[in-house]
Structure 1
Amino acid sequence: MSDFTGPEQYQNLFDPKAYLDDYYRLEGDCMGDEYLRFSLKHLAQIYSSGKVKGETLIDIGSGPTIYPLLSACEVYKNIICTDFTDRNREELKAWLTNQPGSFDWSPVVKLVCQLEGDKVPWTEKEDHLRRTIKQVLKCDILESNPTDPVVLPQADGLISFLCFEAACKDQPAYVSALNNITTLLKPGGYLVLSGVLGNTYYMVGKVKFSGILLTEDFIKEALRGAGYTIVSFERSDTTEESFQDKSNFNALYLVLAQKKCTGLKGGSD
């Protein structure tokens, strides 16, 4: 395998079940515990503010996961999930249709309900999300129309977690991909973007996947260049070493940005 994990390798080698087991069980000794708690806390705050809402949200690079959408489904009426690999989309559909053997997200759903003040039972939250997700589409952020051949109307919101650092070969590719997904967002719409900093690889089972080294300054510059105003940038430096055999990131981030109404290019926050 080359240093960069390309699309064909992702299609053939990425095991969604191993990925979910490695990173998304809330057991205190995996990346999922720290990353999930960081992400879900800030997502609950963003979507409870009343500022970020709309008809349609597109999740860019959903993978086999649903956690970024648990608070979002309370403020968007329709959610479209997207991912590049067939197996990720199949795993996501298995959860949506409540198939036996699909990943158990209930600990994560319960945590989100707690963060939101236990307004609804966790089972209702799950059912509501399942009803809100209307489509699961193939997506390639490296293409000018990421959902080609499907042409989607511009959405009110975009969300993307741990996608760009895996899919993009280098920083120029990251900038291009960010511009590609921005075409899917209405002017004035909001993007929630999250991932890790200082990372060059991550493991799924025994398979090593590449990542590009990202910094806070680079991400902010890329967002401004793509025509966004940065509303907030949350960062958490990590000191835990229990997951260093799986990934070498040194910080987590979550940014809320708004697409300017005057076009895609230029300006600053």
Structure 2
Amino acid sequence: MASFSTPQVYIEQFNPKEYLQEYYSEEDGVLLADWVDFTLRNLNDTFTKGGVGGNTLLDFGTGPTIYQLLSACEAFDKIIASDFLEQNRAEIRKWLRNDPDAFDWTHLINFVCDVEKNGDDAEQKSETLRNTVKQVMKCDVHKKNPYDPIVMPPVDCLLSCLCLEFSCKDMYTFTEVLKNLQALIKPGGYFLIFGVLSCSFYYVGEKRFTSLPLKQEELEMAFYKSGYVIEKNVYAPRTDMSTLEISDFDNMYYIRAKKPK
């Protein structure tokens, strides 16, 4: 069995441009068929009918992507993006300043506008998000304080997509990270997490990265052990099996958990 991909492996080998093209490009992105629809619809539902909103949302492990923030920018006054990798943070900053070299998210922005039905077009939605993202910070999932030396004021909502199972080598580490992240959330605040089950690897170009192959029962148990109250859990099977050689996940999950008051 291959050793778990270390932070140093990501620093040296993770190419955000290749990742974005392979997983999110309008033509043939691996995650467009199932993942994007699942995530964006659940996020829209959470921030509208679900009533989740407030002053600040902290996106933990943003990666080089912005799609997960498109509905959040209507529900929060301020969004803080954060990622471990400088190359990912650079991609986010490119999009925020409308750099011509930034990845083109128009197809997913249009999708969210269609789902929200609030009259926005892609340009208006992009402008709203750019105005709402106030900071792009470095975070490290393996530190007790992920933003050390900065002490973050607790936020109304913590969001994390496709991050923890790729950062944690076993369930003990996963559970400890969940406990640490609770300090970033206000009492009564929310933790929204999206990810994949039974995933042991994914490729970016020729580079292979590992994942913790989560099961539904142990995922939920980790939240209970960490002191959260699960308010909602949604699971959906992968239907597009044409790219199993690129990533072997079989299900997607969304957990909406609350930090007790």
The TM-score with structure 2 as length reference comes to 0.97
Distance (whole Å) between structure 1 residues aligned to residue 224 and residue 27 of structure 2: 37
Count how many residue pairs are aligned between Structure 1 and Structure 2. 261
Distance (whole Å) between structure 2 residues aligned to residue 49 and residue 32 of structure 1: 24
Shift of the alpha carbon at 1:27? Answer: 3.5
Query: Does structure 1 residue 186 correspond to structure 2 residue 183?
Result: no
Shift of the alpha carbon at 1:223? Answer: 1.1
Are the equivalent residues in 1 in contact too, given 2:23–2:29 (CA < 8 A)?
A: no
Which amino acid is 1:133 matched to?
V
Distance (whole Å) between structure 2 residues aligned to residue 244 and residue 218 of structure 1: 23
Distance (whole Å) between structure 1 residues aligned to residue 194 and residue 163 of structure 2: 9
Are the equivalent residues in 2 in contact too, given 1:234–1:255 (CA < 8 A)?
A: yes
Q: Secondary structure at the match of 1:98?
A: coil
Describe how 1:29-68 pairs up with structure 2 within 5 A: 30-49=30-49, 51-68=51-68
Alignment match, 1:5:
5
Are the equivalent residues in 1 in contact too, given 2:21–2:29 (CA < 8 A)?
A: no
Are the equivalent residues in 1 in contact too, given 2:33–2:240 (CA < 8 A)?
A: no
Per-residue Cα deviation, 1:146-183 (whole angstroms, up to 9, x for no partner): 11111110000000000001111111111111111111
Find runs of 4+ consecutive structure 1 residues off by over 4 angstroms.
none
Are the equivalent residues in 2 in contact too, given 1:29–1:243 (CA < 8 A)?
A: no
Alignment match, 2:237:
237
Alignment match, 2:260:
260
Q: Bigger shift: 95-104 or 25-34?
A: 25-34
Q: Secondary structure at the match of 2:25?
A: coil
Task: Check 1:229–1:26 CA distance in 2 against 1; reply closer, same or farther (3 A cut).
Answer: farther
Gaps of 5+ in 1: 262-269
Are the equivalent residues in 1 in contact too, given 2:22–2:28 (CA < 8 A)?
A: no
Per-residue Cα deviation, 1:187-215 (whole angstroms, up to 9, x for no partner): 10011100100000000111000000101
Shift of the alpha carbon at 1:63? Answer: 0.3
The TM-score with structure 1 as length reference comes to 0.94
Which amino acid is 1:155 matched to?
V
Alignment match, 2:147:
147
Shift of the alpha carbon at 1:142? Answer: 1.3
Are the equivalent residues in 1 in contact too, given 2:22–2:29 (CA < 8 A)?
A: no
Shift of the alpha carbon at 1:25? Answer: 2.0
Identity of aligned residues (%): 39
Alignment match, 1:132:
132
Shift of the alpha carbon at 1:2? Answer: 5.1
Task: Check 1:236–1:153 CA distance in 2 against 1; reply closer, same or farther (3 A cut).
Answer: same
